[in-house]
Amino acid sequence: MRQVIFPARETAALLERPSPAEAHGPIKPDDVRGRTLVSLVSPGTELNWGYLGNNFPAETGYACVFEITETGPAVTDLKPGALVFASGPHAELQQARHDQVTPLPAGLAPEIAVFARLMGVSMSTLNTAAAHAPSRVLVTGLGPVGNLAAQVFARCGYQVTCVDPVEPRRRAALAAGLRDVRANFTDGDSLEGQFALHLECSGHEQAVLDGCKCVCKRGEVVLIGVPWRRRTELSAFDLLHAVFHRYAVVRSGWEWEVPGQPRDFSFNSLAANYAAALDWLHEGSVRVAGLAESFSPAEAQTVYAGLLSQSLPTPGALFDWRKLPAPAAA
């Protein structure tokens, strides 16, 4: 099968790799296999950990929609022909346990459904945050993850304010229905001490410091965006001073704090979040227009180089595997 691989630094290519059948043999009883329709590129993790990483060759991708072509004998709830969402790689064939895939609502386009993966990043914070709706929430950074985080919290009844200096990102947020979208922290009325929760999605240390000043006493600052590199000369003192005097709670936005599957004594799971995300995408209460351009997997190098240089027309990208000739067998 064909798969997008990073064979070397700043190099992405569509290469031949062993198919699930070649790699694993006969299908396992609880597994499903199928043909990929679309897969979504993460402009943060895939660029910084993979495309600009240090270990090669490296596989890529963690979100896809595929059509089931084969099921294991123990799978009774899914049939060939079903479309499912999964955290799979950029490869034309997929294999996963049946409890690790989520069926798409009827009529939901695969190129929209695949965004459930990025919605899930901030939905873990929604599960674990101390603040409840209709509290005020600040979102900094309106890339795909931040844009969807703002929409998710607005969908759940929070009062959301967004800050991003990049004008096209602000336009996309406004087009998605978000109302309070600003270029900086001094744009409009004062934000200091106004928020119960800050979702920091940019990975920029200045945004963390600004957020600590904007939360109310005992407010939370959740680091969803990864600080991949140093961007300022801020000292730790500035941050610690703001944390101490705001009594702020600063914590990681690690999405895997929420269990993958439902279990006793836990009220949320990643699986439940993905199912809800798909429903919200289906009903149109979360919108993805303008977040990602569609490309053939054969254009992988163009995609990753364009995301790195920010020269693509959108902040994200997805691979449409339907633009390639179909494989002979799944």
C-alpha to C-alpha distances, 234 to 66, 206, 207, 238, 240, nearest whole angstrom: 45, 8, 11, 7, 11
One domain, residues 138 and 100 = no
Residue 78 lies in a domain: yes
One domain, residues 205 and 226 = yes
Concatenating the DSSP letter of every residue in 233-251 gives ---HHHHHHHHHHHT-EEE
Give me the number of domains the chain comprises.
2
Domain hosting 131: range is 120-257
C-alpha to C-alpha distances, 113 to 13, 120, 178, nearest whole angstrom: 25, 12, 20
Residue 204 lies in a domain: yes
CATH classification of the domain holding 236: 3.40.50.720
Look-up of token digits 């759940």: 156
CATH classification of the domain holding 50: 3.90.180.10
Confidence of residue 326 (pLDDT cuts 50, 70, 90): low
User: Does an H or E element contain 300, and which?
Assistant: helix 300-309
Residue 274 lies in a domain: no
One domain, residues 125 and 109 = no
Residue 329 reports pLDDT greater than 60: no
Residue 267 lies in a domain: no
pLDDT of 209-255, one tens digit each?
A: 999 999 999 999 999 998 888 889 999 999 999 999 999 999 999 99
Average pLDDT over residues 260-281: 93
pLDDT of 168-221, one tens digit each?
A: 999 999 999 999 999 999 888 899 999 999 999 999 999 999 999 999 999 999
One domain, residues 141 and 103 = no
One domain, residues 135 and 235 = yes
One domain, residues 175 and 219 = yes
The answer to whether 186 touches 120, Cβ cutoff 8 Å, is: no
Residue 330 reports pLDDT greater than 50: no
Q: What percent of the chain has pLDDT over 90?
A: 87
One domain, residues 63 and 109 = yes
Residue 313 lies in a domain: yes
Confidence of residue 24 (pLDDT cuts 50, 70, 90): confident
Instruction: Give the pTM.
Output: 0.93
